[in-house]
Structure 1
Amino acid sequence: MPSMDESPPDPTAATVAENIRRARARRGKSTYELSALLTEAGHTVSQSALSRMERGLQRVTVSDLMALAVVLDVSPLGLLLPLGDDGAEAVDVTGGGTLPLHRAWSWAQGYEPLNPEGDPRTAAWEFRLYSLPPGLRHLPGNPYLTMEGDE
């Protein structure tokens, strides 16, 4: 497994580490129990590796993240992004800079581009085209996915 001992974790890695610890604790599981659940799900991660992940000392792979989300019964986004109560709270997104929490979530959920260029309506539709499956690109009544003027 890749180690992060050489440098401090980036903002997203730090958030993932904290969210894994939080979700595990909320489920009342030890790192040993979580390791066993992951093994049962077909994705082996040792107890010591989980402990290192929670402390930000070991990188969490995409496969780790997905398996952890499954066994902890949370959305993968619930591990990737902060879960603050204040949507205006400033959060750091690796590669995206500092932005309000609600914008980070809106972008991650495929609702709006992080850095739109040109016409906002065109930018939003192009973002959805490459971010969402066809059936989710336009949901009537969803304020995030229904553009002004859509019928």
Structure 2
Amino acid sequence: MPAPQQGPIGKRIARNVAELRAARGLSLREMSERMGKLGRPTLSTGIMKIEDGTRRVDVDDLVALALALDVTPNRLLLPPEAGTDKGVDLTPAVTAPTEDAAWRWAVGEYALFPLDAPTPAADVVKFMAANRPHASTNLSVLEQEIAAHLKDLKPVARAARAAEQAGVPFRVLLDYLRLTDALNSTDDN
């Protein structure tokens, strides 16, 4: 039987599964055992076929593989890094403009379309509300929270724009804000 035609995501999943399994020092047999414990029995030969691209991965496989490798499904779907200006093929006809854009879209922070026109703020908020239910459950609540803190948020927005203009990548800025408490760097020293 001929190998199924893989699209860009299928090829990337195959590569990512192989690289992550190897990085964790897991044999095919150990990976197969993990999949079985997760309720998605997959023979060692099945894992090998996934890695060489001759077996397609359905969404149930994807989630089980991610759990077995201790990553998110997005980590299997996308490139292992972000931060370059390389485009990311999502389908044979759709390419995210950069790795950052692909990752930001995948985690619900960024709407890819329309790529050629600015997205109104309301559309961005709707996209985020629909794709980040853990962060905000209700669009009107999010809008109210922003409005209630707008005076205090404006200097943060100005500082963020200044940092981006100074060359600080947006993802670094977000990570810094998320990790300031953990890094004990909330003071200006």
TM superposition score category, shorter chain reference: 0.7 to 0.9
The one-letter amino acid of 1:66's match is V
What is the identity percentage for the equivalent residue pairs of Structure 1 and Structure 2? 30
2:67 to 59, 64, 70: 70
2:78 to 77, 81, 93: 81
Matched, 1:126 2:137: no
Give TM-score scaled by structure 2 length. 0.65
2:109 to 82, 92, 111: 111
1:37 to 34, 37, 43: 34
Query: Partner of 2:58 in structure 1?
Result: 61
108-117 vs 81-90, which moves further: 81-90
Task: Give 3-state SS (helix, strand or coil) of 1:136's partner.
Answer: coil
Query: Which structure has the larger Rg?
Result: 2
Counterpart-to-counterpart distance in 1, 2:129 and 2:78:
23
Counterpart-to-counterpart distance in 1, 2:21 and 2:70:
10
72-81 vs 122-131, which moves further: 122-131
Given the superposition, is the C-alpha separation of residues 118 and 90 from structure 1 closer, same or farther in structure 2, using an over 3 Å criterion?
Answer: closer
Q: Which one scores higher on RCO, CA 8 angstroms, separation ≥ 6?
A: 1
Counterpart-to-counterpart distance in 2, 1:113 and 1:31:
37
Cα distance, 1:87 vs structure 2 = 2.6
Runs of at least 5 residues in structure 2 that lack an aligned partner in the other structure: 138-145, 154-189
Matched, 1:13 2:13: no
Give TM-score scaled by structure 1 length. 0.80
Query: Partner of 1:96 in structure 2?
Result: 94
Cα distance, 1:132 vs structure 2 = 1.6
The one-letter amino acid of 1:121's match is A
Cα distance, 1:61 vs structure 2 = 1.0
Question: How many residues in Structure 1 have an aligned counterpart in Structure 2?
Answer: 138
Query: Partner of 1:141 in structure 2?
Result: none
User: Would you tell me which structure has more helix in proportion to its own residues?
Assistant: 2
Cα distance, 1:122 vs structure 2 = 1.7
